[in-house]
Structure 1
Amino acid sequence: MLERLIAYLDSIKARDPAPRSRWEVLLYPGVWALAYHRAAHWLFEAELFFLARLINHWSRMVTGIDIHPGAKIGRNFFIDHGFTVIGETAEIGNNVTIYQCVTLGGTNPTNGKGGKRHPTIEDDVIIGSGAQVIGPITVGRRARIGANAVVTDEVPEGATMIGLKARSTLVPAEEWMKEFMPYGTPCDDPCEEAREVGRDCIEKLEGELKSLRNEIAELRAAAEPSQRSGTDD
């Protein structure tokens, strides 16, 4: 168990440059929230729902993170800073990183059936600050959810989602194959290539416009002598 704890703390240090030691990581609210959740989830699975909720409420008070006891969470889950909400039927894979103020929320069960209401987050996903992932959707392995994105549709493996409503930036495979991408957002704009193509088109149009203006000026200059001679007659 000690080896697993050390491996978990080291996995956080690998993703966060701030702590100088494992002892600092032990003070992180996300670490404590996950520890409380493990106990609450064990009680939830044993159908001791009141005790599970009691631990959940205590955890929320001391960490600012609300993880429903029913949520299923894999290994090396890291919540950076906190103020995160994770719903009852959410499922989170291994090595997932979530930044502050993220919601893994559910849809409104208007048909009276609870069922699967919250998202499934597969391995190695990174969710940026303030993102909202809503409904029984799947966020594919190694996907990145940008800051403040609102995701309500399935996310393909390796995609980066940005905006409200979130859309894919179509990050190439060599980008998403990186082991870790801080804040779930590439440092280089993945649309830069498309922007360069647009810039080239604008420059080409400006060149053609300049050429047309020169031709018009030459035609006007050629027409002026004939107009003058016609006036003299």
Structure 2
Amino acid sequence: MFSRIKEDINSVFDRDPAARTSLEVLLNYPGLHAVWFHRVSHRLWRADWKLLARVCSTFSRWLTGIEIHPGATIGRRFFIDHGMGVVIGGTAEIGNDVTLYQGVTLGGTSWKAGKRHPTLEDNVVIGAGAQVLGPITIGKGGKVGSNSVVVKDLPANATAVGIPGRIIPDKKHTDESQQREEVAKKYGFDAYAVSTDNPDPVAKAIGRLLDHMHLMDDRVSLLCKEVNTLGGDICPKNLPELRVGEFIDDEKAAAERRENKVASFDPEI
């Protein structure tokens, strides 16, 4: 028993940089307390002491703010960070080295008997406020983003975000986002935050503008080529680079001019 407690405490140091000493972890981490209470209630549940098991889990919920049904199966080095508001259903199965944050629900989607709750395989991480619902499986190493709602299986090492949860592509850059980065670089814009997966509406608008600029560049280049083929002489030079820094410098200079005007203004004139 003490070796398992020591293992649990060590797992906190691996996943929480705020942890300082073993005594601090032992006394101040409700996620650990909830797991330890669950081990007792789960043994009572399996021994068919169902009522006593539920009483134990209810006391744990009152003490820690974390509700774990005594029927849930939990592996080794399970860590609930912060913990308040976590709910784990009775048929949930959790593997080794799994991490949950506050507000997570491992819930069911029906009232039918049998397997109703999720299965989390080893090394899964579920972000704060996420809802993982139904008899689904989150594959080994899977991640669920904060406040996401996942109702379908998630493959191993995949990441799901959003409502409903959708899988983020494994590639760092899709063809479209790579194209946008190249166009942004050409015009001197910072391509940060114009990813196709970015939910920011301003970033999406900038991304569409870059798409439009790329299309217009292609059309103008093709037009120049055809005109030059017919004997014309247009577009002899490349477009000048447009850099955001130039606008920033101009704005600073304008602000200085306004300040100088205000400083030189004599109200007695």
TM-score, structure 2 as length reference: 0.68
The letter of the residue matching 2:19 is: P
Residue 161 of structure 1: SS of its match in structure 2?
A: strand
CA contact (8 A) 1:169 1:191 kept: no
Aligned to 1:171: 170
Q: In the TM superposition, what are the counterparts of 1:45-64 in structure 2 within 5 Å? A: 45-64=46-65
Residue 161 of structure 2: SS of its match in structure 1?
A: strand
The letter of the residue matching 1:12 is: V
Q: In the TM superposition, what are the counterparts of 1:15-34 in structure 2 within 5 Å? A: 15-26=15-26, 27-34=28-35
CA contact (8 A) 2:12 2:19 kept: no
Q: In the TM superposition, what are the counterparts of 1:136-151 in structure 2 within 5 Å? A: 136-151=135-150
Aligned to 1:206: 216
The letter of the residue matching 1:168 is: I
Identify if the C-alpha distance between structure 1 residues 12 and 193 changes in structure 2 by more than 3 Å, giving closer, same or farther.
farther
Identify if the C-alpha distance between structure 1 residues 192 and 79 changes in structure 2 by more than 3 Å, giving closer, same or farther.
farther
Q: Distance in 2 between matches of 1:76 and 1:149?
A: 24
Please give the root-mean-square deviation of Cα atoms over the aligned residues, in Å: 2.3
The letter of the residue matching 1:150 is: V
Q: Distance in 1 between matches of 2:16 and 2:173?
A: 27
Aligned to 2:105: 103
Residue 196 of structure 1: SS of its match in structure 2?
A: helix
Aligned to 1:13: 13
Q: Distance in 2 between matches of 1:9 and 1:154?
A: 31
| 1:127-153 CA-partner distances (Å, limit 9, x unpaired) | 011110000001100001111111000
Residue 86 of structure 1 and its aligned partner are, at CA, apart by 0.2
Structure 2 unmatched ranges of 5 or more: 184-210, 233-269
- Among 177, 192, 195, the alignment partner of 2:177 is 195
Aligned to 1:155: 154
CA contact (8 A) 2:75 2:94 kept: yes
CA contact (8 A) 1:127 1:146 kept: yes
The letter of the residue matching 2:15 is: R
| 1:167-188 CA-partner distances (Å, limit 9, x unpaired) | 111335xxxxxxxxxxxxxxxx
Q: Distance in 2 between matches of 1:39 and 1:116?
A: 22
Aligned to 1:184: none
Q: Which runs of 4+ in 1 moved over 2 A?
A: 1-4, 190-194, 196-204, 208-215
Identical positions, percent: 48
Residue 63 of structure 1 and its aligned partner are, at CA, apart by 0.4
CA contact (8 A) 2:123 2:141 kept: yes
Aligned to 2:130: 131
The letter of the residue matching 1:92 is: I
CA contact (8 A) 2:79 2:99 kept: yes
CA contact (8 A) 2:124 2:139 kept: yes
Identify if the C-alpha distance between structure 1 residues 115 and 205 changes in structure 2 by more than 3 Å, giving closer, same or farther.
same
Aligned residues: 199
